[in-house]
Structure 1
Amino acid sequence: MSKHANQHDSQTGWNRRTLCLFITSAIITLTFLSPTAWADKPSAQRTAPPVINVQVSPDARLTIYKSVILLPALTEGETIDEPLSNALSRALGNLHKYHVLRPENVESWLKKKLKSDKNLSMAELAHQAGIDLRASAIITAEAHPRQKIGELLVRLDSTPVTTWDIVMWDTRNGQPVWKLTISHQDVVPAQEKTKETTTILAQAIAALEKKMVSKGDIFSTQLPQPEVLSTQGDIRSVRIVLQPNPPHIFSRYQLLRAEDPKAVFRPTGPPVANKTPLILVDHGLRDATSYYYTVIGINNAGLANVPATPFAITTTGAPSSVHNLHAAGGSLRHIQLFWEPSQDPTVKEYVIYRSVNSDGPFKKIAIVSGRDQQTYIDKGQPSGYSRYGVLADNSRYFYIIRTRNIVGVTSEDSQIVSATTKGVPQPPTNLQAIDRQPKKIPLAWAASSDPDVVGYAIFRAQAPKGPFQQIEYVSGRENQQYVDDGSWEHPLQNDTTYWYRLRAVNVVEAQSPDSGTVSAITKAAPQAVIGVKAANGLFRKINLGWQPNPEPDIDHYEIYRGTIADNIRTKITTVGPKKTTYTDMGLADSRTYWYRIRAVDQDGLTGAWSAVVHATTKHPPVQPKGLKAIVGPSGILLSWKKNPEPDIDHYEISNGSFLSGQLGDSKKPQFFYPHPVKPGSEFKFLVRAVDQDGLESAYSEPLVIMRPE
């Protein structure tokens, strides 16, 4: 039936010469590009991949073919190829796009038609089959073997090549819906031919499926329609819940919408993945409007089910208003609001308004997100965390609330409610101050019963009417006492009266009015030490004495010394309260020292300074005077004037030499030096006085004796 093949090629836009040249070029190209692919294989196994050409009509996406009949495959349009028919039937079944039928009478019909009219083209044959067999589309398949070197579809190495033309025809217009042209080498053994045919057709059907999807021909009568579990109209949106299909059936779902069931349905957005829960939502709709929807499932290959009958969903309108609004006052700088949560499922938040007058104007102060919310605390500030707000103390505020849905439509006003904030704390009571404490005044008071009080501000003045200045803040409502000891820069003065007031302070630092005023006087310091005396002329020490202070709590006396009268800053010692004398030891000879003393009581208060006294330590002996000598045959007799000091112990005689200069000593003012004076000799003598305390005078003027030769 060669005429069938020729007319078939003519109607599908291909002629044999063009097709042969295309396939021959592809085979030659593959041969030269992959020479190593054939190098180590036997010649019978050198098979190249099949060459598959796919064409899909642009109008294929406009028609859903509910009944498709597969005619038996023909070889050269004359004989039925049963293996190819069976393999093609299985491959089309795996496509999951058409309900492909093979009626029992189709083979007898084909044989009868071929016998009765041998001049029918393949297009005419398919069109007649569609009419006779009542199918919306017919699929035909025709094999064209080539075996000789001189024919067009043959490899250069004489390998046989077979071409299959597989076409689906639209019965209504007789035009191809799609066409597959498959050329492959026919070299496998007979026992493997069925397997090879199945493999090649699977590749071709996969390529066809991909091409269909790219052309928009996606609807399949073999895929089930998604099951819609529920639908719901919301504010400017709808919500559709599906029963998910197994993932191998659908990988995603597409929602389609139209405003009329007979209009064109368009996607509402990107497809939604097949996962639980499977909810499709369409946004951006008009209020209180009906829309029509259908849902399609899409498999991994991109095929979809035939859309089901559309269903309508109507969006909702404005939300309902708030009921049972209440305001609670009596709190510190904030007011708490309560209301009954809205039962309207479209409500997403509450808008709160406030005014200082019942007739307004009302100003928006907050948005509370969440339909289930039913409380709000107005702190008078738009954002930021604070336990207490900034509303005015002891002030009344008025409120209304509106609900707002997910697209920003608000309800009517609620009823107006009002509440009053809490005022400042009450002043502290029972304030007391204790007298006669050393450089401090203890204070005590009754703790405030206000739970918002967190401390007390303490104020002090040096006159009954002030001015009062805050000196401290005592943290803690339960604290009831404080000791005022001044500061490092400004300590409390001794024997001085101070006046005090307190204020309670709450958590927002609001202060109460002043408490009552109390006063107290600090303890007086010890009196100045009197009767201080210092003894002169003692050997390297000075004895001090004084009268005891009259205060009963004297702890000790501090004694200070200086070397000049106006710089007595060195504290040399402290002595106990019962001592009234002290000896200052280790002093320099013939040195005057100045002293002052003060008393310190058991609280550390220091008294005024005593009067300044001074004394001088003992002087060394004066330098001996009148040294003279008498030279005799056996030595030299030295003599000098007696020193005036009554406690001279002895005199020391020296020749002035550094190493062996000491010649002797004498209790009396004379000394005999037993060395004859020879001619040409020279002698030098010096004398100094030493008293009973070991004090040494300066050496006398030297005496030099010389005897010429």
Structure 2
Amino acid sequence: MQRRIAALCLFVMLLVSTTALADDFKTKPKLAFYPLVAKSVEAISFTEAISTQLFNNIERTDYFEILERKKVENVLTQNAVTLTTLSKDALYNVANRAGFDIFVVGSVSRVEGASLIDLQVVGSSSRSSYYAETFRIPEFETPKKLQEIAEKIVAKVKGFNVGPTPPPPPPRPLNLTISGTPKSIKLKWSPLESSQVAGYAIMRANSPNGSFVQIATTTKPGYTDENLKLNETFYYKVKAISKSGIECEPTEAFVGRTSPAPLPPIFMEIKSDLAGAQLNWYSRSYSGSDRNLITNGFQIYRKAPDESEFRVIAKVSPSAVSYTDSDMKNGVVYSYALTAYNPEMVESEFSSILEARSAPAASDIRAVGGIRKVQLSWLPNESKSVEGYAIYRSKGADQESKKVGQVRGRSSDSYLDSGLEDGVTYWYSIAAQLEKGETPKSGPVPAATRQRPATPAGLTASDNEPRRVTLSWNGVGAPEDEIRGYYLYRSTEKDGEYVKIAEIPYKKNSYLDEKMAAEKGSASKFGSLIGDGTRPLSDGATYYYRVSCFNAAGSESLPSETVSATTRAALPSPRNLKASSGLPGKVTLTWDSAPEFKEYEVYRGPVGQNQVQRLKIVKEPFYLDSAVVDGGSYIYAVKGIDALKIESAISTSVTGATKPKPAVPGKVVVTEQDGKKVVLWDANPEKDVLRYVVYKKNFVGIFQKLQTVYGTYFHLDGLKGKVELKIAAQDQDGLESEKSEVLTVDLK
């Protein structure tokens, strides 16, 4: 009955494959068109145009699948064929080897004002599928005639009954082996790739040259010919069948015989524990001398639920009465059978078949996902041989797992797996650790870590604030033990690099951004740095912001949408600064008042050096600089300061100067007038000089003021001895010139 079902299944598979192949014959024929060749010098100029037009006409019929010209050329080259040697047989051979359904070649020549076209068309299905004709085309009828030729080619090809070249047969099965038991003959061979075959047919005969009859089909690389009699001999052949229903040549004939063999052992029981499954049996005793019935050993067979046949997992000695299978997957039910074999390796029939399942390493395994962690728990195994548990993890139920940890002690019942990825499902298995090795792993249980935190929403940024930006966002509605805070990022370009500027506690959802890391040269460009080495935001600058949140494990959400804000433009510098010139001992400064300024910062520097230093902060738009020298010139500039102590840009500089001292009186001389000696000097050029001061050197060598005069002379009456004098001029503002050179007079 099983043979009939298998044969019916294979027949259905072959029928489906054959139907699919029939559908393939309905596809378009593959046509290879090689451009026409000029047979004369006169034909060279128009051959390419005729070839191209004919090719296009054939293609427009939409009857063929046109192959690329390059592929056609490669085929001709590989077959060492030229167009001059393309006979009917050569065309057929090339088309058949290359898989062309239709092959078209030809030549063009010029005869008495007309084109002469020789065409050959061959189909690969048979040598009788051949058509050749010569066409004479007057020049004025070329387009029309070429269209007729294309239609004629289609009509001829339809008569060829062309179809795709049938696929080759599958390869023959290899490495066929045959063994016999008292009631069956077993055949095995090397499996072929599943893409090559749909199944195998088994044929049997009574002699190597007899008539082989198909007795079965199978999809497996093996077959057991059962229900035979002892000492029967048969010959077998096997052939593969493709999915297209094509059969290969059968293998050579192989002989198989049923043979005497020991009786199978009595399979008593299977005991399962953590170490695996222990199989126990009794051997059937034999006291005779027939070698065929002597037990020389036992073979252990096992089959898992996903396996179609039993396979040998062990061979043991004839004295063995038990075997432990320790290579079992946890929770899987296995089927076992035993055979006895004689010195000639002839096996008995199968014993009875028993089933077993390995004992679980642990039970009630549970996995609960958390923030980048999974908490595992289980009921420990009560076996005293358990020394601990090994934890295995994978990212898929069918993926290979790796050991990620272990816990010692038979009573251990939990394990925390941390440092995991966000939003990933992990699969866990547990194996019990024994003195020697581990038990099979338990069936995997899944647990998913939490997704990364939700992205904060509602981020806003205020515009037009002085050197700062106020940001706010909606708090993430999550437990405080999960969300620990927010990260704020800033960039000077929307698509530029975003730098983390702040870490904000969970309960706060706003931030005042007013500091930036100092750049090289920023002190001179932006003024003094803040005490912590930062500087304020720039005036009139646009900044871009994103916010994210993070949880207790450091998992960060995706960043929010980007928002931007522009700081207030730089404060205008004070306008219309003016500085006085010519005032004695002072320079006065005035400028326009501005409502945005609460204070003003006055700067001064020497003329010609273009550097100024701060003098004073004043409340009003006026300043009197008295810390000056007579005749000095100075550069002045002013900054405005608003209520937030933010300074404006510095004003345009102006120059102020004090009134200079009078010139030193010149040409100081002594002369006599009316018998009296008089000191004379030139009048000063300054119009506001009112008087002159006469200085006399005293006995300690210091010039002291002797007298003030309002003319340009001084009488020496009343002075005696050697006298040393100097003269200085004074103007109306009391400015006094430097003293003249010493005038020495000897009065007797």
Higher relative contact order (CA 8 A, sep 6+): 1
In the superposition, the TM-score normalised over structure 2's length comes to 0.46
Higher Cα Rg, which structure: 1
For normalisation by structure 1, the TM-score amounts to: 0.48
